Each structure stands twice: as C-alpha cells, then as structure tokens.
Structure 1
Amino acid sequence: MTALRTSTLLRLEDSERLLAELLAHFAEHATVIRTEAGARLLTDYGTVDIARRAEGLSVEVSSGSAGTLAMIKVFIAEHVFEFAEAAAMVWSGDGADERRLPHFQKLHVLTASSITPRMRRITFRCENAAPFVGETHYQARLLIPPRGRPPVWPSLAANGRILWATGEEALTSRVYTIRSVDPDRNILTMDMVLHGQSGSPGSRFALEARTGDVVGVLGPGGGGRPDARSLLLLGDETALPTIARMLESLPSTASAEVVIEVADDREEQALVSNARLRIHWLHRQGIEPGRSDLLEHSLLDYVLQDKAALADDTGRFVWAGCEHALADRLRTVLRDHAALTRDRHRIIGYWARK
C-alpha cells in the first residue's frame, strides 16, 4: 500500500518548549523515538516525523488511508494549539484541500430502552457499519445537536483543526462504547450510563431519544480488546459496555477475571462469553460514583496475591476503565506493586468527577 503524506511547518520562537510538551503528551498515545533532529512517533494509524528547523518545527505525517491521515492531522493540530495558541500552520500534500471530516456519519435512532435503572440502550441506523466491525477500536464520539434546531455538522479547517458550530447551534460531544455492531443491517448499539439521572447532556439525550432522532458520530477510535489469553478486567458502570463486548469476543481458550463496581444489585447485567470467567460484582451501597475505593483494593489484592505469577506470565493483561482520579490510583498500584510492562496493561479514565 502506498503511503499518503502531508506536512506543515510550525513557525515559533519557542519551538523547543512546544516540542518537549508535545512529546511528553504523545508518549501516552504512541511509541516515541527521539532522534537527533527531533522525534518519530509510531502508531497503529501511521507515522509522524517531527524535526527542528531554523524557522521552527517541521511535521510530516504518513498513513495508509486518507481518513487516518486526516485524523492524525486533527490530533496534532488540536494539541499544537493547546500548547501554543499563537501557532500558525497550513498543511500541504495529500488531502490538504479536503474539508469534509473523515470518519463522520449521520445516525438515526431506531429504539431506546432501559436495561437497568441507570443504563439506557440506544440502537442507531448508520450509513456504513463496516468501520465499526472488529475488536481493535470500540469507541465513537457521538455528536448531539440541540433539540429543535437543524444540525450544523463539523468540518476541517486548513490548519487541520475541526471547525465546530457555536452558540445556539453548538453540538454536545460525548464518547461512548459501541456495544454491538450489525454490519448486515448497518445498526450500531450503544449503552449509556445515566450520570445523575437527567442532569448531564449525555444523560438527557439517553432519556429523551426517540425513533427518528438524528445525531452524528465520529469513529471508531480508542482501544479494543487486548490480545491476551488471560485478562483481569476492572471497571465501573461506564466501562461495563466495553467489558461486556470484550467478553463476548473472547475464544474458549481464554480466561478472564472480571471485577465490576455498580450502585447496587439492580445494576448487574448478564455477561456472556465462551471464555472461562470469574465475575465479581461490587456494590457502592450509597457511595457516590467515583468516590469508592472498591476497585483500587480489588486490584491491590489481585496483584499481591499473585505477584510472582503476574510478573512472569506474559500472557496476562490488566485492563481497567473508571473515573479519572481513580484511574491514576490504579496506575500507581500497578507501578508500585506489579512489574508489568506498558504492553501488558491499559488503565483508562472514562469520566471525571466534578
């Protein structure tokens, strides 16, 4: 496959500071190889080369498809302007004149129902479900237009950033897991947690969605199922759709220990898998979401009870999805008590407690 390429020059006085901040951040998302000129970033989607120049920093992106090339540009541009608001950049090369946002589709609501008191299931008809098939990328960004107004969908600017509608036309943007995909009928299913019942925009949409409602979607993205024969999966209810989808895709030769924290027994769901499972439901019993230490203690107990085997068995993988501050504490547990390399664990902050 011939690689597509695009490049830009960032003209900045303080380019060294920007380079350091970009590389520190990109290390969470890519393999960063520092070079004499700058750095090379390796990802599943493509390669990014950043080099020092007399005028600033040059950035070259290569990828196998126009869609992924554009999304890498978006990712870079958004972070450049996060760290250097005065930066000026214009892309040249493949796709430089493209203004349509890649991986964008319109979704039409088919059904909406409650599967537990705090979880709503929404099914959508999409334009093309094929990109969402597989176990590599489970997440998508839902774009919810204001009710009663025609949607104004996003587009691409020349600098690679996404142009969003503002004011009364502003979209609500939330990331959700694609719970299941029916490629033959172009149907996507998402399970949505009701945070504080109807208080948040995402929760309001989940409660008020009606057949025929139109929303947008960007994706797929994020991670999928780890390639391991033995999994420890931990999470609160926001991670439950991801965990359930992972379990359904596991082969009979795999095994998984599953620890899920929910409000009470009414939030438990039937989990189906061909793999060997041990499932533990933890109930907060009135404690607010994000304030419990149940998952933290469960991970610590697991690591301490099986520390030697966990370190030696490269077929094991630890995955967790939860509130951001708790995710940091889970990473600390693994760093302090388990000798796991980066490719054997993934801890994700799905939401932030206010």
Structure 2
Amino acid sequence: MRKIVTALFIGMLILTTLFTLQSLTHVLSVDIDLPTGDTSEDDAKRLVLITDQMGTPFYDAIVKGARAAALHQGMSLEVLGYANQNEEALLTDLERSIYAKVDGIIVQGKDTEAFKELTKVKAAFYSIPVVTIAEDVPIEESLRRTYVGSNHFQMGQTLANVVTEDYQSYETVVIYYDETRPFYQRERLRGAAAVLNESELTVQYIGLPASTDEAILQTQRALNQYPTFDAVMILDAQLSSIVIEEIKRRRQIEPLGIYTFDEQRNLDLLLDQGEIDALIKQSPEKMGSMSVEVLSEWINNERDHLEFSGYLTPFSVERGKSDAQD
C-alpha cells in the first residue's frame, strides 16, 4: 500500500512539473509590450481649460493662446467647452477635473454659489490651483488662486468716456446689463457710473434676464418706456444682438450711438457696418497664453507666489466706420 501511495505522489509531482514547464514556455513565447523608458507624456503636468462659450471668436482665441503656451511650457492641456452658455455642463466638467486631480484648472469664472462651492471647498481640499480667465469671481468668495484678463472697471470707465465724448449735454443714455449682475458686470457698471455720474447725461439702467425670450420682452418694454433715448451701452456682449435687433425694429440705427464689448460673434461685422459706434477690444489670445504661463510656473515652483489681484491684459477702443456724432 505504501508503495502505491509513493508511486501516485511521484506521478503527480511529475505531472505538476510538466504543466509548470509548459506554462513557463508559453509565457516566454508571448511578445509583451514593456515601457520604453520614454515617460515624457505621462510626466507632463495636466492642465484643464473650461468655458461655456466655445465657438465664439473671443474664446477660440483664448484656446489658441493657451495651447501654444502649453506646448512651449511642456504642459498637457485639455480643453473642455460648450456653446450657448451651458453653465451646468461647465460646473460638471469643473467638478470632474477636480476629482481627476489635475495639476491646475483655468476656467471662465462664474459668479454663482455652485461655482464658488467647487473652487472654495473641493478644489482647495485637493490643493488644485484654480485660475479664472476673462470673467473673474471675488477671491474671498471663491479662493481662486489668481485671475487673468481685462480690468473690467477700467473698461467700463473707458467706454463711458467715449459716450461722454459723443454726447455732452442732457441727452439720454440707456445701459443694458445682465440682471443677475455677475461680478465682472458689476465692475463694468461701477466704472461706467463713475464717469456718467459726473456728466450732464440722463442715464437709465435696464437689467435683462438670461432667457432670450424674456430679454426680448424686457427690451421691448424699455424701448416703450424710453422711446427717445440717444445712446445705448450694452455691458453684456451676449445681449448685444438682442438689443440691436429690437432697436432696429423700432427706429433707424443712425444717428443712435451703440457701445459694447467684444466677447460675442458678429460684433466686428456690425462695427464695420457702422451699427456699433465703439467696441472695447480685449486681448483673448494673450489671456490664454498668460494663464498657462503663470499657472505652469507656479506648479513647477518657478514663481514664489501668484498675484491675488490678477494679471491684467491690455484692451483698446475701436471706433465704427460711422460715429454717432458725425
């Protein structure tokens, strides 16, 4: 009996050895892809740029500048964007980027509680630096690391100075703005008011809702209430087409003066056609490149600090072919 057990044990041992040798031969015969040692792609710091106005010339220029700077800095840049002010999607992309633990986030600022909750709590928890671009949010409410873009207060002042050059006595100026009054528009409004309050112009302020249909109705009501106004300042460029189209339904654009900002498409065409008298022109490509530069230098410890007040980019005034007071 003992001999039988011993023989069975030896037989099982031989079979096990054969199976092991067969498996080892199979493994050695398989061509396995191993790392080549070039990990530059994996080692690149990851940045994300997020906007809800993709497809406009303004934000396309921001993306262009950011991509060029990322290539120069050796950073990986992913652009996440939507058209038509899809703010909910922007917030979703912002939250996903935070949980993905990217190295830095560049985002169009949104002056909402949901946005500030993400930047102040979740991004801060994971120590992810957030840079707002083009549209800022108060740092004490958002804990964003810095801002890159125009000085909106100065732009409001500048555009209002153009209006006071064209209209100097007792005429009526209507100022349209987003009724939710996000921070960047409050700054434009504050700058414009600082100039217009010192003039002899009569100024009317009209807030418009976000809904296009409601904005059209509110514009119509304003036109009924102030039928003889002389000039229009539109602080939210996205409202420009709505306001201009409704005015054209009621009266001749000439000699009415229209003044606005450059963030939306087709405004350059209206400027060339003389329907817009003055347009604030910003530097979006510079915003894109500068935001990547300062953020990458911070991440790579090449900067001791980032300016909480932000990094300002230049802007200018471009006149239309036909001015209001020719």
Query: Shared fold by TM > 0.5?
Result: no
Bigger relative contact order, structure 1 or 2 (CA pairs below 8 A, ≥6 apart):
2
TM-score, length basis structure 1:
0.32
Choose between structure 1 and 2: higher helix proportion. Answer: 2
TM-score, length basis structure 2:
0.34
Choose between structure 1 and 2: higher strand proportion. Answer: 1
